[in-house]
Structure formats: C-alpha cells, structure tokens
Amino acid sequence: MSAVTSTRIVLASRPHGEPTADNFRTETVDLPALQDGQVLLRTVYLSLDPYMRGRMSAAESYAASVEVGDVMVGATVSQVVESRHPRIEPGAYVLAYSGWQSHAVVDGDAVRILDPDRAPLSTAVGVLGMPGFTAYSGLLKIGRPHPGETVVVAAASGPVGSAVGQIAKIHGARAVGIAGGPDKCAYVRDELGFDAAIDHRAPDFAEQLTAAVPGGIDVYFENVGGAVTAAVLPLLNLYARIPVCGLVAQYNAAAVPEGPDRLPGFMGLVLVKSLTVRGFIQSEFVREMYADFERDASRWIGEGRLKYREDVVDGLENAPTAFLGMLHGTNFGKLVVRVGPDDE
C-alpha cells in the first residue's frame, strides 16, 4: 500500500491555568510502513475526556504527560485499513488508544476487536467503555451502596455520573444528581430516573441539596471538587464513602486558592465521621471487575435500566474547541468526535 497521510493534533505548548486553542497545533504527516504485528487504523470516533487536561501538564500524575509536539492522547474507535497481525483482518473495528489523529500505525496486540452488531460503535468509548467502567468499579468497589442508602454524584448528566446514579438505583439506593442548568437536571431526573437533581448554579444550591438528602449522604461520588464538594461535606453520614474519580473544577487552577487552610477541617471530618476517602483509576480494577461490568452493563442497557446520551461533534478539526468547552460543562452527555464514517 502507498504511504498514508495522517492529520493529527499535537500539544503545541503547556497551558498555565485554563487551556486555550493556542495550546494545540494541527499537523499532517506521512505514516511509516507497517511492520510485522502492526495494523494501520482509520479513526472513526475519538473520545474526549476530562483526564486529558492533566496529561497536558508536566506535573507528576498517575500517567505520563503528553510531551510538547506529541499527539494528544485519547481512546478511539477505529477501523483496520491494513494488517500485518495474524489475528486482525482489514475492515475490523477496534478499540485503540491512538489519540487525536485521523490515521495511526499501532501494535495489533494493543487493540481490542469490537463487534459492531453488539452495540453502537461509539459506546465502546462511553457507557460500555472507560467511562461506564469507571462508574461501575468506583461505585461498587469503593462506594458499596446498600439498599436504602443515599448516593450523591456530581456531574450527573455526564458519562460517568449518569451511570453512577443509575447503577446506584439498580442496587436499591436513592440517587441524587448534581448538574449544571435546568435542562441537564431535568434529564437526570426525568429520563435517567434519579430521585432528585440539583442545579449547582442555583443561588440556593446548598439549601436545595440539604432538602434533597433528609437522611444525609452515605456515598458521594466525587467528579468535580470545589464549591460542590464544600456543600456536600456537612451532609455526610457516619461511615460515608467517597470514591474520588475527578476534580474537574480544580484542573485549571494556577495558584493555591485564597482564604484559610481548609485541610485541617476536612481531616477532622474524616476522623469524627469515620469517612472512607479513596482516589482511584479505573484501570486498577480491570482484571478483577471488567468481565462482570461488560456482562452487567450490556444486560442493563438491553433492559432499559442503564441509559446513556452522547454529544457528537463532527470533524477532528473541532476537537480542541469541543475539549475546551467540556472543561466548562458545555457538553451534554458523553463527548465524542466523529472523525470519519463508520461504514467504509
């Protein structure tokens, strides 16, 4: 096959504080010829997720930073254009981690073959992929909701939060969602079936949240941090559990917040209420829980008990704008970029 050209978006510079479009650059490159064991991929869907903000930074984290000049990271649903891998045929659809680019050459052992007849392909980076598994593993392994308990989740209309609340309901708990704006709150309450949905932008947000949890909060699934967490903390019950999945409200902070040091008060609360606070990355539970997740999530979707919503943006060139908007909550549902057609 003749040389294949790929359009890719790279990290042009590291942001200080809030990222801008200037932190990204679009390039066109010729891809190398395939070696034994490799496959050439054409990207169909690119997943955009909040963790990518952390990868733009050089700060120490649970995964390596994207180097300036390198392709932005991201999970993709791709179609195999050419293969020199013995078990992967051209035309197959795969889940890969090839990032913000139209085509890529990757090791065939690093991809997972998808069944396009099982579910829409885009769900492999959404409700049946990393976001769905994040909700499933964090809630069930760390949150451990019991029937009748109250589970509160921030960013409740997003791919992780929406699944958290629905899985909590499946396990017999009350689900209270926190979201931004009346439309998202209506979706969380009326379509997803949460017991209550609170708008964190409302001037009386803290009062509304208090009224929605008359028996207190037993599990708080942390996606946001900031003012939302500040309103939640006084409402936590004895032995409450807090799976810490993300802190999107703090990702763009360029300095230590002004005001008194709140850490002593928080640690005092952890002590007197015997709280369990556990940060996690979903990959640590893959070996133990992923097979159960695939079985359960597929069944729940088929039964209509686990619903999802996708926010699809067309065109790789629009990925930076969509990503920047996501950090401000402009997306409604799982954000994916449709890079190419899924029927070639």
DSSP 124-150: GGTTTSHHHHHHHHIIIIII---TT-E
Pairing of strands 310-314, 334-338: parallel
Give the number of other CB atoms < 10 A from CB of residue 127.
Answer: 30
pLDDT, tens only, 192-205: 999 999 999 999 99
pLDDT band at residue 2 under the 50/70/90 scheme: low
Give the number of other CB atoms < 10 A from CB of residue 237.
Answer: 17
pLDDT average, residue stretch 207-213: 98
Asked if 145 contacts 217 with a C-beta cutoff of 8 angstroms, the reply is no
pLDDT, tens only, 105-157: 999 999 999 999 989 999 999 999 999 999 999 999 999 999 999 999 999 99
Dihedral sign for Cα 310, 314, 316, 319, please. Answer: negative
pLDDT average, residue stretch 63-88: 96
Asked if 151 contacts 169 with a C-beta cutoff of 8 angstroms, the reply is no
Of 71, 102, 69, 103, the C-alpha closest to 1 is 103
pLDDT average, residue stretch 202-212: 97
Instruction: Outline where 111-248 has alpha helix (H).
Output: 130-137, 159-170, 182-186, 205-212, 226-232
Asked if 126 contacts 336 with a C-beta cutoff of 8 angstroms, the reply is yes
**Average pLDDT score, the chain:** 93
Asked if 137 contacts 146 with a C-beta cutoff of 8 angstroms, the reply is no
Contacts with 274 (C-beta within 8 Å, 6 or more apart), sequence order: 238, 239
CA 231 – CA 211 distance, rounded (Å): 12
Q: What is the pLDDT of residue 59?
A: 82
Asked if 12 contacts 72 with a C-beta cutoff of 8 angstroms, the reply is no
pLDDT, tens only, 143-195: 999 999 999 999 999 999 999 999 999 999 999 999 999 999 999 999 999 99
CA 314 – CA 331 distance, rounded (Å): 14
Q: What is the pLDDT of residue 225?
A: 86
Q: What is the pLDDT of residue 265?
A: 85
Asked if 186 contacts 206 with a C-beta cutoff of 8 angstroms, the reply is no
Write phi, then psi, for 125 (nearest 5 degrees).
-110, 15
Q: What is the pLDDT of residue 257?
A: 62
- Which ranges in the chain are annotated with CATH 3.90.180.10? 5-126+309-338
- Which ranges in the chain are annotated with CATH 3.40.50.720? 130-302
Asked if 48 contacts 322 with a C-beta cutoff of 8 angstroms, the reply is yes
pLDDT band at residue 40 under the 50/70/90 scheme: very high
pLDDT band at residue 343 under the 50/70/90 scheme: confident
CATH T-level fold of 130-302:
Rossmann fold (3.40.50)
pLDDT average, residue stretch 314-337: 95
Q: What is the pLDDT of residue 28?
A: 97
Q: What is the pLDDT of residue 64?
A: 86
Tokens of 229: 């967490």
Could you give the dihedral angle defined by the CA atoms of residues 291, 296, 301 and 305, in that order, rounded to the nearest 10 degrees? -160
Q: Which CATH number fits domain 5-126+309-338: 2.60.120.620, 3.40.140.10, 3.90.180.10, 3.30.460.10?
A: 3.90.180.10
pLDDT, tens only, 234-270: 999 999 999 999 876 555 554 556 667 778 888 999 9
pLDDT band at residue 283 under the 50/70/90 scheme: very high
